[in-house]
Structure 1
């Protein structure tokens, strides 16, 4: 049985899991849908009530019925690298590939339907609150007057994009930024704007959840954190040091509930820890990176992903320890 990984060619995060799978003799097929058709080919036959599908990459042919799991990591847009690339060909290729893969009995990390819903930040905020996770006061609006009223109630605000950055398109990332005290919010009418009460950070928290396993890492805020206009840890000008930390029981319960209700097998949660030690939910990326966390903390996240994809115990290739889940 083969593990299928859908991702771009340069993906160090995926490499961490592939190493573990290869070391344990688990067959892996890695492909980028952007190479379909040409570098990647598909075929599916529906005859006498049965489906038989096949994938071909670099001359290697794999039966879709032989897939044990599918990891949708950072796939490119189907047919994007075709000599005849077009929106029509991309849609045709996506329908063919993902439609056939839906006909298999393979487990998904994460299923495309669940992943599509999980990318909506307004829904994330609602689900996090429903799951028992603290969420900062937030407004999404195109009404300048409503934005001004919100700012009057919560004078210390940040602004961030509603959509975030699309998976596989890191160039569109926009940093979370503090709102100026004299902002008049007139520009809000030109597009939906997300305003959120700023949490005075003691630290940034990244909680990576793989199935039932949780890996939390903490990066302490700098002494000048309150003076920074950009409060996004991804754009912090100075070096960031991540260290493993235990997961508070209430956060563990809330994160597990969140992923269960979202029907996700994997999630990378971002929290802001305040001076009282409360972890405030900011977002959950259903295909978030974990490579930088594993490399810096030694947490065996890639091994956990590999084990979930394999569906069986694996012999670890390193001696890194995992924080105990409360």
Structure 2
């Protein structure tokens, strides 16, 4: 089999405009692409079948426009697929059963395509999304990490804040959907004071982290062997809160950080990673987190184009021969 002649399978939702940037690059290179949102499309006009046995592994994805031989997929780009939700019209228990069967069945098929190159593999993405695992891996590869406490004990949290005179911030451990008065509400990184910490902390684990006296933030985007850094100047502690007020410009990534980033990707077996750093006034880089599937199209146009080209390179090449 020649992997380079196969199709690229892109798993994402209908409204993911970031994907379109890379798809235009692949179209210009005449690389065939099939776009699928398994959580919704397979409840509508698409279908997926796979077989395993003495004849080997086979499978077919059928969409309204084409049939795709799953043994001919050269690459899979796991972008932003919708969650499996189950067919509408079923009662609560049947829908939950259908949803879980889809997650383990469809998800298992799409994660096990022979000869395919994953950017990133679904299971590697998941493993790399746990913030405690991120902090542990960052330390192992030589990155500096701010003092961090994860706890559901209010007294321990208060003592942690009291011990850090430069301030402590709170971060959610996962970007869970949250609503206030019925409206979507984002939980931003924010500074927290000792007297604010109540026994309500016991409801779930909380992440508290020593505040870095930063001069600016840096987003390092890594795609395979390619890497770039962008400096972010923002009036907010969490620059994501009001992106219209931030300023971005390319910045050099120190060699030691470059090496550690590559080691981090290898640790989690990632092809792509979006790393966030806080840089102090004396030039010290502190690792904050790595999103294995982070957004990137908000960066300066030249950087955005370079990321799209690097992603297209990975998807076009497929698996190593």
- Counterpart for residue 162 of structure 1: 173
- Counterpart for residue 307 of structure 2: 301
The one of 51, 58, 62 equivalent to 2:57 is 51
Separation in 2 of the partners of 1:289 and 1:149?
35
The one of 33, 39, 45 equivalent to 1:34 is 39
2:159 maps to 1:149: yes
Q: Displacement, 1:190? A: 2.0
Compare 279-288 and 91-100 and name the one that shifted more: 91-100
TM-score w.r.t. the length of structure 2 is: 0.87
The one of 236, 252, 261 equivalent to 2:267 is 261
Q: 1:58 to 1:83 in 2, by over 3 A?
A: farther
Q: Once the two structures are superposed, what CA deviation does each residue of 1:72-92 show, in whole Å capped at 9, x if it has no partner?
A: 100112355655582221222
The one of 5, 9, 13 equivalent to 2:14 is 9
Q: Displacement, 1:262? A: 0.6
Runs of 4+ in 1 over 6 A off after TM superposition: none
TM-score w.r.t. the length of structure 1 is: 0.86
Q: 1:296 to 1:204 in 2, by over 3 A?
A: farther
Q: 1:47 to 1:146 in 2, by over 3 A?
A: closer
Q: Once the two structures are superposed, what CA deviation does each residue of 1:20-75 show, in whole Å capped at 9, x if it has no partner?
A: 11100000000101221323210112342412101112231100011001011001
The one of 100, 109, 122 equivalent to 1:112 is 122
Q: 1:235 to 1:296 in 2, by over 3 A?
A: farther
Compare 25-34 and 104-113 and name the one that shifted more: 104-113
- Counterpart for residue 294 of structure 2: 288
- Counterpart for residue 211 of structure 2: 198
Q: Once the two structures are superposed, what CA deviation does each residue of 1:162-203 show, in whole Å capped at 9, x if it has no partner?
A: 12358xxxx564100111353344322222111000112211
2:117 maps to 1:100: no
Residue 307 of structure 1 aligns to a residue whose secondary structure is: helix
- Counterpart for residue 133 of structure 1: 143
Q: Please tell me the root mean square deviation across aligned C-alpha atoms, in Å.
A: 2.1
Alignment length (residue pairs): 301
Separation in 2 of the partners of 1:10 and 1:72?
15
Q: Displacement, 1:276? A: 1.3
Residue 134 of structure 2 aligns to a residue whose secondary structure is: helix
Separation in 1 of the partners of 2:310 and 2:53?
38
2:98 maps to 1:89: yes
Residue 233 of structure 1 aligns to a residue whose secondary structure is: coil
Separation in 1 of the partners of 2:88 and 2:271?
32
Q: 1:72 to 1:294 in 2, by over 3 A?
A: farther
Q: Displacement, 1:296? A: 7.1
Residue 274 of structure 2 aligns to a residue whose secondary structure is: strand
Q: 1:296 to 1:24 in 2, by over 3 A?
A: closer
Structure 2 gap segments, 5+ residues each: 1-5, 178-183
Indicate if the aligned counterparts of 1:147 and 1:185 stay in contact, CA closer than 8 A.
no
- Counterpart for residue 322 of structure 1: none
Separation in 1 of the partners of 2:56 and 2:314?
28
Indicate if the aligned counterparts of 1:242 and 1:296 stay in contact, CA closer than 8 A.
no
